[in-house]
Amino acid sequence: MTATKRRPDGTRAPRTTPAKRPRGPDFGAWFLVLPALLPILVLSVGPLLYGIALAFTDAQSGRTGATRWVGTLNFQDLLHDTLFWDSFRIGAVWAVGVTVPQFLLALGLALLLNQPLRLRWLARALAIVPWAMPEVVVGIMWRLVYNPDAGILNETIRTLGLGEGRDWLSGLATALPAVVVVGIWAGMPQTTVALLAGLQNTPRELHEAAALDGAGAWRRFRTVTWPALRPVALAITALNLIWNFNSFALVYVLTSGGPGGRTRLPMLFAYEEAFRYGQFGYAAAMGCVMIAAVSVLIALSLVRRLKGDQDR
Amino acid sequence: MSALRTSGPARIGQYLALLAYLVFLALPFLWLVSTAFKPAPELASLHPTWIPRDPTLDNFRQAFAEQPLLRAAANSLVAAVAAALIAVAVATPLAYVTARHRGRLAGAATGWVVISQAFPFVLVIIPLFLILKNLHLVNSVAGLVLVYVVWSLPFALWMLMGYVRAVPAELEEAAAVDGAGRLRTLVSVTAPLLAPGIVATALFAFVTAWNEFFFALVLLKTPEKQTLPVVLTHFLGAEGVADLGPLAAAAFLATLPSLVVFAVLQRRITGGMLAGAVKS
């Protein structure tokens, strides 16, 4: 519709309502949108639907025969696959065990970084270092820390006279807590930055008024800071839960799911099923179960959020 | 301001708490650096020290000898630069339209941004693997770039929408009143104001792709095609019996580009990169 703007004599047609955007299908807009929409549809929405469809087939890697529909057979098998449910449980423990301490620690750090402390710029810069590191490097780094002989953790324990230390990542009891600590470390910066941004939006005048009225730090936090921070806190916590539940690289590098499957997160389980054993259909079914679990989580957090909005 | 003054002991407590945080966040990285510069005998010692007694570059030499790190770095660089440029090129127009025209399209775009965060990658990677295999793009950096573009789009879109909203629509309307066409407005009014945001988004997409591991692990099979994170895992060997020195040296080198980019972006990130998006 903007193509008819030039008159035959070459002068520009006067725009009658320059501030008003044209209604109806806007081909200019579609032209701008298409370069992004095409790859999204072909390489993101398409594969997702394709993946869900695969869950109802017996697709395998390197097979010569045709792939057949098998209905819900994969899901029935999955129902009785105790190894998968063990892994699912580990995934849930991991996701909650990482997300909750991560949130509390990040909240503390964000509150500190929001204070007029000296060297705050340096602290802010250092606080985001874990974010910049490749997950594989984070895993390698913590393997060096946890190393039974050359690691600094055991050396510190020995120096402090607290015993001989242990092989943290291979111990049946210590492996999961050890990787959870790494998960907390790795995700701290994103959470801190989000909460810090939220804090900077809290009304300072309100803070001062509350302080003048004699409200203590905890009271001010509860009545002024938290209400303003709540939407951000809920959003980042929901995202963290999802990200952590779908996490792969960290644990792959740290333990590869060992010892004895104690740290085998669902993503590692599905990855092995798909790319070690070639069971594409079965692995896709696992992916569907994971997405269902995550969807329930999103729905719950949305409901809470809507309720929270009504309360106010 | 005066009402909010913190008392002396409380202030000291705050500094101590901050120190504890920084120790927790920084020490593992310092340990990595320390290990990277330690000679083999010190690494075998039962009493490792923080500062290498006899610092050496041997680990770096050995790392380059053991694994094709240079080629891996080149692969990573090509994949990350291409992915970042393409992602920003396709995301900027979409971000512009969705940020300016609030409506069904904007709703769908933000909805997709949220949903795509929830994908378990395994559900997407199997079909992608099959699709790319049919296109003969498995085990090729080009195939990986395609995946990275789509994978970094949601966050790029989200960042860019924030930056577009920060450019006042009144400026564009003023240009339109002055007779500038739509394209002209975009090129000479909006683009210059948006440029810093576009650069930041591209840098962010670069780091995301540079650090990525899962897709690279699945899609790249031969060592000459693999990216840096995948090659790094080869140092771990079977059963985790790793040569610690070269492992630490290679891991340290692989982190440097991301650290440099984050140093550049630092003020933008902590100064409220997310603030604009959070406000709405």
Query: What pLDDT score was predicted for residue B227?
Result: 94
Q: Would you call B51 an interface residue with chain A, using a CB distance cutoff of 8 Å?
A: no
Which residues from B are below 8 Å from A126, CB to CB?
Answer: 22, 25-26
Digit-coded pLDDT (tens) for B138-164: 999 999 999 998 888 888 888 888 888
Cβ contacts of A236 within 8 Å, gap of 6 or more: A103, A190, A191, A194, A195
Query: What pLDDT score was predicted for residue B142?
Result: 92
Query: What pLDDT score was predicted for residue A32?
Result: 74
Query: What pLDDT score was predicted for residue A5?
Result: 40
The encoded tokens of residue B155 equal 């966050």
Determine the residue type at A113. Answer: L
Q: How far apart are CA B134 and CA B239, in angstroms?
A: 35
Nearest-Cα distance to chain B for A163, in Å, is 14
Query: What pLDDT score was predicted for residue A229?
Result: 87
Q: Would you call A302 an interface residue with chain B, using a CB distance cutoff of 8 Å?
A: no
Residue range B91-117: mean pLDDT, rounded: 76
Q: Where are the domains of chain B?
A: 2-56, 67-279
Q: How far apart are CA A87 and CA A102, in angstroms?
A: 22
Digit-coded pLDDT (tens) for B229-241: 999 998 887 555 5
Query: What pLDDT score was predicted for residue A12?
Result: 46
Domain formed by A82-311, architecture: Orthogonal Bundle (1.10)
Q: Where are the domains of chain A?
A: 82-311
Going by pLDDT thresholds of 50, 70 and 90, the confidence category of residue B10 is confident
Query: What pLDDT score was predicted for residue A2?
Result: 39
Residues in chain B: 280
Q: Are A183 and A250 in contact (CB under 8 A)?
A: yes
SS3 A256: coil
CATH: 1.10.8.80, 2.40.128.120, 1.10.150.20, 1.10.3720.10. Which one for B67-279? Answer: 1.10.3720.10
Q: How many Cβ atoms from other residues are within 10 Å of residue A80's Cβ? A: 8
Q: How many Cβ atoms from other residues are within 10 Å of residue B225's Cβ? A: 19
Determine the residue type at B226. Answer: Q
Cβ contacts of B120 within 8 Å, gap of 6 or more: A245, A246, A266, A267, A270, A287, A290, A291, A294
Q: How far apart are CA A130 and CA B19, in angstroms?
A: 16
User: Which of B126, B148, B227, B265 best tests the A interface by mutation, with the highest count of A CBs <10 A?
Assistant: B126
Report how far Cα A143 is from the mean position of its chain's Cα atoms. 22
- Closest in B17, B177, B272 to A197, CB measured: B272
Q: Is the pLDDT of residue B278 over 80?
A: no
* Closest to B75 (Cα-Cα) out of B230, B193, B208, B179: B230
Digit-coded pLDDT (tens) for B31-61: 999 999 998 888 877 788 888 888 889 889 9
Global ipTM: 0.87
User: What element of type H or E holds A31?
Assistant: helix A27-40
Q: What is the mean pLDDT of chain B?
A: 84
Q: Are B147 and B79 in contact (CB under 8 A)?
A: no
pLDDT in tens, chain A (312 residues): 334 344 444 444 444 444 444 444 556 667 777 777 787 788 888 888 998 999 998 888 877 677 888 888 889 998 899 999 999 999 999 999 999 999 999 999 999 988 888 888 888 888 888 988 999 999 999 999 998 888 889 888 888 888 778 888 888 889 999 999 999 999 999 899 889 888 887 777 887 788 788 777 888 888 888 888 888 888 888 889 888 988 899 999 999 887 888 999 999 999 999 999 989 999 999 999 988 888 887 787 777 766 665 554
